[in-house]
Homo-oligomer: A and B are copies of this chain.
Amino acid sequence: MRIGELAEHAGVSTRSLRYYEAQGLLRARRAANGYRDYGDEDLRIVREIRSLLDLGFGLEEIRPFVECLRDGHETGDRCADSIAVYRHKIAELDACIAHLSEVRQRVSGQLQRAIEVRTTDPRCEFSPCVSE
Which residues in A have some Cβ–Cβ distance to B below 8 Å? 55-56, 75, 77-78, 80, 82-84, 86-87, 89-90, 93-94, 96-97, 100-101, 103-104, 106-108, 110-111, 113-115, 117-118, 121, 132
CB pair B83–A132 under 8 Å, yes or no, is: yes
Chain B residue nearest in CB terms to A87: B111
Chain B residues, Cβ within 8 Å of A78 = 114, 117-118, 121
CB pair A101–B107 under 8 Å, yes or no, is: no
CB pair B93–A103 under 8 Å, yes or no, is: yes
A114 touching B55 in the complex, CB below 8 Å, given contacts A90-B104, A90-B107, A103-B93: no
CB pair B132–A75 under 8 Å, yes or no, is: no
CB pair A77–B110 under 8 Å, yes or no, is: yes
Chain B: minimal CB distance from A34 (Å): 38
CB pair A104–B94 under 8 Å, yes or no, is: yes
Chain B residues, Cβ within 8 Å of A108 = 90
